[in-house]
Amino acid sequence: GYHEVYNYSFLSEEDVRRFGLSPADHVTVANPISVDQALLRRTLIPGVWKNIRENSKHFDQFRLFEVGMEIHKRASGLPDEIPHLAAAIYQRTKEIGPFYEVKRLAECLMPGCELRPDTARMFEHPSRTAHVHWRGQTVGRLFEFHPDFVEGRAVVLDVDLARMEALAPV
C-alpha cells in the first residue's frame, strides 16, 4: 500500500538549515549541477518532506517510502554511505491513526521492536517522537512532523537498514 519515491541525493543549504542541520557537516559537491544542490544528504527526511508537501496538494491521504543512501562525511577518505528506509503516511485530517499504522510497519519489519520516547528535533512533533529499539540497539526513529512543517498529519519511520540487517537473525 506504499508508493515508492526517488529523491536526488543533493540538497541546498536552505534545505539543510530548515531541518536544523549544519551545512558544514555535509559533503560538498565540487561541481554541483545547480547552486541549490551543492550538498549531499545526511538524511532522507528533507526529500520525503518535499514529497509529502507536494502530494498533499492533490491527495487527502497517501503512503510513500524511499530506500536510499545517507552520505556521511569522514575526516579523511571517501564518505560513508548508509542505506536507510524512510516510510511515511499522510492524512489531511487530524486523527491520530497514522502514528499507529507506522508503528505497526516498524513491528512488521522488526518483530519485537520497541518505541522509546525521545526529545523532538525542530521538525518533529514535541510529543510524538520516539527512537526505535530492536535487539538492544537504536535502529531508527518514528515521529510525526511538527504542525508547522505539514498541514494535516504526516508520520515517518526512518530506519538504518545496515544496522537492522546486522541485527537480523541468520
Tell me: pLDDT of 94 over 80: no
The percentage of residues in the chain with a pLDDT greater than 70, rounded to a whole number, is 100
What average pLDDT does the structure give for the chain?
A: 95
pLDDT-derived band of residue 95, with 50, 70 and 90 as boundaries?
confident
Tell me: pLDDT of 169 over 90: no
pTM of the predicted protein model: 0.94
* Closest by CA position to 80, among listed 30, 27, 117: 27
11-50: pLDDT as tens digits: 999 999 999 999 999 999 999 888 889 999 999 999 999 9
Tell me: pLDDT of 86 over 90: yes
DSSP string, 85-147: EEEEEEESS--SHHHHHHHHHHHHHSTT-EEEE-PPPTTEEEEEEEEEEETTEEEEEEEEE-T
* Closest by CA position to 16, among listed 43, 34, 55: 43
112-163: pLDDT as tens digits: 999 999 999 999 999 999 999 999 999 999 999 999 999 999 999 999 999 9
148-161: pLDDT as tens digits: 999 999 999 999 99
Cell numbers representing residue 115 in the block: 518505541
Residue 97: what pLDDT?
A: 76
